């Protein structure tokens, strides 16, 4: 019997496995009819103890387009967690009903607890300020489709780098590729955690910190914007003081490369002006579409389902 595979952190996947997932995601776009019934009679549980739009709905759309079905809840208040049930008990129970689980939780490490008790594959759909590996797969697919490579890129990460789990996961993923450089753009209070600085140093990845977005822009191949997350702050006054630290508009983009790729995990508040949406460099809504395709490929991978086509998961 094969060992059960879960996805808790992006590093649970090798770079070769990521490349295979990207191949399958691209094949899904090229041959959607081949995949429409491939998960027939399979069920996905979406256990979202924390609000979500894109992640939850893209998981649900992914499973439905594969011919499977979906059940679950969209907030802790609509589950037995409101009665005090533990994550462990919820996972053990739901594992009796479904074939695979996607779980989001506000507490760091909750998916690890769930994975220790699960009888079916579990996917971390975001745990507090920790990791968000399927968003990282989404980001990687977007980068691959827009740039055609993962190496020799200068990536600007802007906004909330302290609590931004999408940023943390993307750094972990990209440090495995050659000649990647990070420019970390944030207020001093929202700088990247030290353990990620140590990770980049150990991987011999170049990185620098700045508080000035406009100065950093000309050198960037990719700009990854993030919102300042109100839900991660203990002090509302700090949030109000920092929330408008960076606002990307067309005037700032005059100094950026013509081939710049502007990304954002969404939702945005006002850190990207809506006037940027029509700029050909804006890729964040395309990024959301990539999320559905890569989650389709991931579901097949974790369920051990081969595509039977030119690419196998």
Residue 188 falls within a domain, yes or no? yes
Do 229 and 124 share a structural domain?
no
pTM above 0.85, yes or no: yes
- Residue 218 contacts by C-beta under 8 Å, 6 or more apart in sequence? 255, 256, 257
Identify the domain containing residue 279 by its residue range: 133-288
pLDDT of residue 108: 80
In this structure, the answer to whether residues 110 and 141 fall within a common structural domain is no
Mean pLDDT of successive 10-residue segments in the chain (313 residues)? 81 96 97 96 93 90 98 67 72 94 88 85 84 93 97 96 89 95 92 94 97 95 84 53 76 95 92 96 96 98 77 42
CATH of the domain at 110: 3.40.50.1370
Report yes or no on 2 lying in a domain.
no
Q: Supply the residues annotated as catalytic.
A: 54-55, 83, 104, 132
One domain for residues 154 and 271: yes
Residue 25 sits in the same domain as residue 58: yes
Residues 230 and 146 in one domain: yes
Same-domain status, 51 and 96: yes
**What's the pLDDT score for residue 277?**
97
What is the Cα–Cα distance from 130 to 167, expressed in whole angstroms?
A: 10
Query: What does the pLDDT read at residue 236?
Result: 59
Is the distance from CB of 305 to CB of 8 less than 8 angstroms? no
| CB burial string 250-266: b at 16+ within 10 A, e below | eebbeebbeebbbbbbb
- The CA distance from 5 to 166, in Å, is 22
Structure tokens at 276: 């940027």
Q: Are residues 228 and 170 in the same domain?
A: yes
Residues 233 and 124 grouped into a single domain: no
Q: Are residues 117 and 214 in the same domain?
A: no
Instruction: Cite the beta strand spans of the chain per DSSP E.
Output: 43-48, 69-73, 100-105, 122-127, 153-158, 180-185, 206-210, 222-225, 261-263
Residue 210: per-residue pLDDT: 96
- Both 108 and 227 in a single domain? no
Q: Do 153 and 204 sit in the same domain of this protein?
A: yes
In a domain, residue 280? The reply is yes
Whether residue 88 contacts residue 115, with contact meaning beta carbons closer than 8 Å, is answered with no
Give domain status of residue 5, yes or no: no
Q: How many domains does the chain have?
A: 2
- Does a structural domain hold residue 184? yes
40 Cβ contact partners less than 8 Å away, ≥ 6 residues apart:
67, 68
Considering the domain boundaries, does residue 313 fall inside one?
no
Considering the domain boundaries, does residue 308 fall inside one? no
66 and 32 in one domain?
yes
1 found inside a domain:
no
What are the structure tokens assigned to 289, written together? 């579409």
Give CA angle at 150 (144, 152), nearest 5°: 130
């Amino acid at each position: 019997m094969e060992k059960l595979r879960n996805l808790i952190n992006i590093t649970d996947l090798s770079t070769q496995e990521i490349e295979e997932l990207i191949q399958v995601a691209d094949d899904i776009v090229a041959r959607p009819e081949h995949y429409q019934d491939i998960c027939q009679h399979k069920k996905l549980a979406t256990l979202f103890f924390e609000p979500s739009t894109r992640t939850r709905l893209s998981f649900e759309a992914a499973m439905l387009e594969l011919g499977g079905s979906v059940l679950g809840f969209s907030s802790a208040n609509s589950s037995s967690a409101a009665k005090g049930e533990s994550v462990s008990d919820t996972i053990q129970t739901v594992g009796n009903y479904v074939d695979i689980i996607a779980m989001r939780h506000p507490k760091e490490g909750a998916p690890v607890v769930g994975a220790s008790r699960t009888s079916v594959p579990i996917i971390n759909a975001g745990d507090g300020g920790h990791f968000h590996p399927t968003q990282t797969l989404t980001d990687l697919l977007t980068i691959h489709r827009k740039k055609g490579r993962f190496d020799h890129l200068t990536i600007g990460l802007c906004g909330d780098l302290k609590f931004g789990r999408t940023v943390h996961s993307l750094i972990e993923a990209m440090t495995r590729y050659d000649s990647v450089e990070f420019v970390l753009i944030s207020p001093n209070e929202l700088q990247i955690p030290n353990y990620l600085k140590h990770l980049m140093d150990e991987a011999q990845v170049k990185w620098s910190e700045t508080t000035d977005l406009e100065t950093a822009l000309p050198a960037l191949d990719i700009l990854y914007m993030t919102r300042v997350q109100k839900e991660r702050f203990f002090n509302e006054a700090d949030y109000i003081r920092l929330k408008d630290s960076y606002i990307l508009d067309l005037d700032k983009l005059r100094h950026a490369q013509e081939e710049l790729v502007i990304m954002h995990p969404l939702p945005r508040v006002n850190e990207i002006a809506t006037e940027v949406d029509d700029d050909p460099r804006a890729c964040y809504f395309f990024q959301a579409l990539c999320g559905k395709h890569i989650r389709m490929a991931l579901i097949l991978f974790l369920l051990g389902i081969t595509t039977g086509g030119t690419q196998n998961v």
